[in-house]
Each structure stands twice: as C-alpha cells, then as structure tokens.
Amino acid sequence: MQKRIYNFSAGPAILPEEVLLEAQENLFSLPGVGMSILEISHRSKTFDKIIAETKEDLKSLLDISDNYEILFLQGGASLQFSMVPLNLMPPKNKADYILTGSWSKKALKEAKRVGTVNISASTEEEKFNRIPKQSELKLDPDASYVHFTSNNTIYGTEWHTEPEVGNVPLVCDASSDMLHKKINVNKYGLIYAGAQKNMGPSGVTLVIIRKDLLERSSDSLHTMLNYKIHAENNSMYNTPSTFGIYIIGLVAKWLKKNGGLEAMYKTNKEKAEILYNCIDGSNGYYKGHAQKDSRSLMNVTFNLATEELEKKLISEATVAGFDGVKGHRSVGGLRASIYNAFPKKGVEEFVKFMKEFQAKNG
Ligand SMILES: *Cc1c(COP(=O)(O)O)cnc(C)c1O
C-alpha cells in the first residue's frame, strides 16, 4: 500500500483511514449486492438502507429527536447561504446575522438579497480574531432567525457555547466543526454543514432542521430550493450524492465505534492543546491569530515574524511530510486543520518539527 502523509488541509480534508480502507474494499462490490456503491440506484433497497442507517447513526451520535428532519443536499454550504433566507425569512423578512469571518460574510451577502438583515455583532475590526461576547449581541426578538458560524475555518476561531437567542430560531453554519463534539441540537432551528471538512467527501451537505420550520417554505419557491420538498422526499427528490451519504455513514459508524462524540471531543481538545502549547511556549516566535478564549479546536491559525519565514516553514514542512499548512489565500500565515480524523501522533510530530524549525531559524 502507498504511504500516507499528514494532511492538514482545511477541506476537502483528512478522513479516517479505517473508513477509506472499508470504502476501498467494498468499492468494487458491496457485500451481498454484487455492485459498487457508485453504480446502484438511489431508489434501490440497498441505498434505502444506507441512507436510513446514516440518519439513525447521526441521530444517535447527536441525540437528535424526532422533531428534526435530517437532509442530505447538494450545492455545498454555499447554497445554504441562499436556501436559509429563502425558506426561513418570510413572512417577516428580517433576520439577525453574527459576523465572525469570511463565511458568515458570504452568508450575509445572500441573505440581503431576500430581506432586511441586522448585523447583531461583528469582530471584523479586530481581524476576526475572536468570538463576540453575549453582551455584545444586538438581537431583534422579532427576527425570523439568528445566523452564526460555529467554527471560523479561515480565522481559526470557534464558539464554545451557542449564542443565547431566546425564542428566535438559531441557525448555524457548522461546516468545519460538525461532529467534533456533542451539541444540544434542541437549541437550534437549523444546522447545516458541508461534509468535506469533518464528515465526508465534498458534494453533500448535511442539514438538520426543526420540523415546524418546514412550514415556512413557500410553495412559490423553486422546487430544488425548498426544504419541505426535500424533507417530503427523504432527500431524494432528485439523485442525491449517494457516495457522499455512504461515506458520512461510514464516518458515523467509525465515531460510534470509537466512543462517540464525548470521546472525540476529548481527543480533539488534547490535540489542539498540544499545538497551542507549542505556540504559547515559543516566546512569541509563533503568534496565534485567535484570542485564547476564542481558539478553534479544528483550525489552528498562526503567523511567524515574516512572510519569508512562513514560506520557508511551509516548504520544509512539505518535504517533511506535512501537507496543507498554508493559511487561507485571503489571510496568509499558517493554518493546521486537525479535524476528527487527524491523528494525535501527527500533531505531536508536527510540534516536534515546529520546535526544530524555531531552533534553526530563531
Ligand atoms: C468551507 C466552508 C463553507 C463553504 O463550503 P462549500 O461546501 O464549499 O460551499 C461554508 N462555511 C464554512 C464555515 C466553511 O468552512
């Protein structure tokens, strides 16, 4: 088998080796089926079972009640920037958005096309290096919903508790931290997440929506943009990403087998701590972007004194077998994405590399 390197990519991103091996083993022919997952009909009994099991496993991992519908859609998290306001904003046509990074800004841009948007808080003036405090949020109690981004993939910040929004439905873009810990789904009206960061391959987006909110979807909406239609058709109004749903199912089983989301969260905290300790212990050689209380467990962002040094680190890291540590093109610097599937051993080895780099180039 070919050797694998350490993949710090922000997305599409690392998947559990066991999942890849199982998918590989069964790619030619699903056991007892005699056809590949890539070849079977989404209307087949085999696929019915796959989608049902995937939903059940997600329900059990997150304790999702029957008040919620689980959907597998396409168009990425980016299409949700439009679907959320199109479905949920009417009839009041006003919503609150909390701006904590590039993705929330993109969500805001689409919402503005649908109705009036109130920016409840923004940390843009501080280069999005923190999550706003509850006391900073200017919330409209009459808003259709409040939108926030639970993990800011590009800036490396994360909400450690949900904003308190009273009775207004809370909508969350959880694309880069979905399934990294147990959350209380009952606090949310809708959660969406592109799969390719922490759950599976690109091409499928998980949407968890409280059933009563489906009543807001107007019949005048285009069919493919209507949550209610997708819910009524078990995500199979059209052909879904069958392979994507299959891989999410394998990832969910992998999480369950390894102790569920409590165990995953414990490991994620340990991994992030190793990296942040290295940054904090470097006497300012490595500068973390996020303020300490806003640090992400998934995307660790930092800088060196100069761009030259950053480039040098990136190229030496690549040679040493660490891929994808370059920061997002919009902000530069460095970013180590250490999603669920990223092994603790890889973090330890990268920290060793960082310390050696500092010793040589300090
Ligand atoms: C990657 C990302 C997106 C965009 O996802 P696509 O599936 O490419 O549309 C949106 N929000 C967040 C938080 C992301 O990390």
Among protein residues, the one whose CA lies closest to atom 1 of ligand 1: 175
**How far does residue 298's CA lie from ligand 1's centre (Å)?**
14
Peptide linkage before 201 cis (omega within 30 of 0): no
**Overall fold of domain 18-257:** Aspartate Aminotransferase; domain 2 (3.40.640)
pLDDT above 70 coverage of the chain, percent = 100
* Average confidence score pLDDT of the chain: 97
Domain boundaries, the chain: 18-257, 260-361
b/e burial code for range 168-180 (CB count within 10 A of at least 16 → b)? bbbbbbbbbbbbb
- Determine the atom of ligand 1 nearest the C-alpha atom of 154: 15
Residue 283 has pLDDT above 80, yes or no: yes
Q: How far apart are CA 209 and CA 235, in angstroms?
A: 13
Among protein residues, the one whose CA lies closest to atom 8 of ligand 1: 76
Q: Which of 73, 78, 131, 177 to mutate to test the pocket of ligand 1 (most atoms within 8 A of CB)?
A: 78
Q: Active-site positions?
A: 103, 173, 197
For the chain, the 3-state helix, strand and coil shares in percent, each to the nearest 5, are: 40, 15, 45
Residue 2 has pLDDT above 90, yes or no: no
Q: Is 80 in the pocket of ligand 1 (CB under 6 A)?
A: no
Taking residues 195-199, what's their average pLDDT?
98
Residue 1 has pLDDT above 70, yes or no: no
Among protein residues, the one whose CA lies closest to atom 5 of ligand 1: 77
Residue 326 has pLDDT above 90, yes or no: yes
Q: Which of 176, 330, 337 to mutate to test the pocket of ligand 1 (most atoms within 8 A of CB)?
A: 176
Taking residues 158-165, what's their average pLDDT?
98
Taking residues 281-288, what's their average pLDDT?
98
pTM value surpassing 0.75: yes
User: If you count them, how many residues does the chain have?
Assistant: 362
Residue 291 has pLDDT above 80, yes or no: yes
**Confidence band of 331 (pLDDT split at 50, 70, 90):** confident
Q: What is the DSSP string of 157-207?
A: EE-SSPPP-TTSPEEEE-TTTTTSS---GGG-SEEEEETTTTTS-TT-EEE
Among protein residues, the one whose CA lies closest to atom 14 of ligand 1: 175
Q: How far apart are CA 149 and CA 70, in angstroms?
A: 19
DSSP conformational letter for 295: B
Q: How far apart are CA 316 and CA 305, in angstroms?
A: 17
**Overall fold of domain 260-361:** Aspartate Aminotransferase, domain 1 (3.90.1150)
Q: Is 197 in the pocket of ligand 1 (CB under 6 A)?
A: yes
Q: Where are the alpha helices (DSSP H) in the chain?
A: 17-27, 45-62, 76-88, 102-111, 227-232, 242-257, 260-280, 307-319, 344-361
pLDDT digits (tens, 9 = 90+) for 33-91: 999 999 999 999 999 999 999 999 999 999 999 999 999 999 999 999 999 999 999 99
